[in-house]
A and B are shown apart, each in its own frame.
Chain A
Amino acid sequence: MLEGLVLGLSTAFSIQNLIMVVAGCLLGTFIGMLPGLGPMSIIAIMIPVAIKIGDPSAALILLAGVYYGAIFGGSTSSILINAPGIAGTVATAFDGYPLARKGKAGKALTIAAIASFTGGTVGAILLMGFAPALATVALLFHSAEYFALMIVGLSAIAAFAGSGNVAKALMMTVLGLILATLGESAQFNAPRFTMGIQDLQSGVSFITLAMALFALPEALYLVLDPKRSNTGGAGGEIKDLRITKAEAKKIAPVIGRQSIQGFLIGVMPGAGATIASFLGYAVERNIAKGEEQAEFGKGSIKGLAAPETANNAACTGSFVPLLTLGIPGSGTTAILLGALIALNITPGPRLMVDNPSIFWAVIISMYIGNVVLLILNLPLIPYIAKLLLVPRNYLIPFILFFTMMGSYIGQNNATELLMLTGMGIVATIMRFAGFPLAPMLIGFILGQMLEDNFARAMNLTDGVSFMWERPMTTTLLVLAVVLIFLPSIREQLAKIRRRGVADGD
Chain B
Amino acid sequence: MTLDRAIAGIFLLLCLIYGYTAFVTMEANLLPFELNMTFLPNTMPKWLSVLGVIVGTVVVVQSGPTAGAEIDDGEIDYRNLRQYKLGQAIFLLALMVAYALLLRPIGFIAATTLFIAGGSMILGERNFKVLLPIAIFTAFFIWYLVQELLGIFLRPWPWFI
Q: Once the chains bind, are B120 and A394 in contact (CB under 8 Å)?
A: yes
How long is the Cα–Cα vector from A396 to B115 in the complex, in angstroms?
Answer: 11
Determine if A167 and B96 form an interchain contact, defined as CB atoms under 8 angstroms apart: no
- Interface pair A393/B99, CB less than 8 Å apart: no
Whether A459 contacts B146 by the Cβ 8 Å rule is no
B52 at the interface (CB under 8 A from A): yes
| B88 to chain A: closest residue by CB | A223
Residues from chain A with a CB closer than 8 A to the CB of B59 are 167-168, 171
By secondary structure, the B interface counts as: helix
- Bound complex: CA A394 to CA B150 (Å): 25
Q: Is the CB of B96 within 8 A of A192?
A: no
Interface readout for B1-34 with A: 1 if CB under 8 Å, 0 if not? Answer: 0111001100100110010010000100000000
Other-chain residue from A223, A228, A454 in contact with B44 (beta carbon distance below 8 A): A454
Q: Is the CB of A459 within 8 A of B39?
A: yes
Q: Does B56 contact A (CB under 8 A)?
A: yes
B161 proximal to A (CB < 8 A): no
Contact B56 A421 (CB under 8 A): no
Residues of chain A lying within 8 A (CB to CB) of residue B93: 220, 421, 424-425
Instruction: Find the B residue at minimum CB distance from A457.
Output: B39
**Structural contact, A397 and B103, CB atoms closer than 8 A:** no
Please determine whether B41 and A190 come into contact, CB atoms closer than 8 angstroms.
Answer: yes
Within 8 A of B (CB), among A167-212: 167-168, 170-171, 174-175, 177-178, 181, 185-188, 190, 192-193
Does A405 interact with chain B (Cβ within 8 Å)?
Answer: yes
Do A181 and B44 form a contact, CB below 8 Å, given A192-B26, A417-B103, A429-B3?
yes
B125 near A394 (CB under 8 angstroms)? Answer: yes
Chain B residue nearest to A430 in the complex (CB): B7
Q: A48-B151, A417-B100 are in contact. Are A400 and B86 (CB under 8 A)?
A: no
Are the CB atoms of B42 and A192 closer together than 8 Å? yes
Contact-size category for B = 35 or more
In contact, B4 and A45 (Cβ under 8 angstroms): no
Pairwise interchain contact B48-A463, C-beta atoms closer than 8 A: no
Point out the residues of chain A lying under 8 angstroms from B84, CB to CB: 224-225
Contact among B4, B48, B99 for A181, CB-based, below 8 A:
B48
Contacts A45-B150, A168-B4, A404-B99: A221 and B76 contacting too (C-beta < 8 A)? yes
Q: Which B residues form the contact surface with A (CB < 8 A)?
A: 2-4, 7-8, 11, 14-15, 18, 21, 26, 38-45, 48-49, 51-52, 55-56, 58-59, 62-63, 67-68, 74-76, 78, 81, 84-86, 88-89, 92-93, 96-97, 99-101, 103-104, 112, 115-116, 118-120, 123-125, 134, 138, 142, 146, 150-154
**A-B pairs with beta carbons under 8 Å apart, 16 shown:** A174-B48, A178-B15, A188-B41, A192-B42, A220-B89, A224-B81, A224-B85, A224-B89, A393-B125, A397-B118, A404-B96, A409-B152, A418-B100, A429-B3, A454-B43, A458-B38
The 9 lowest CB-CB distance pairs between A and B, nearest first, are A397-B119, A417-B100, A185-B41, A432-B78, A224-B84, A433-B4, A393-B125, A433-B3, A455-B39
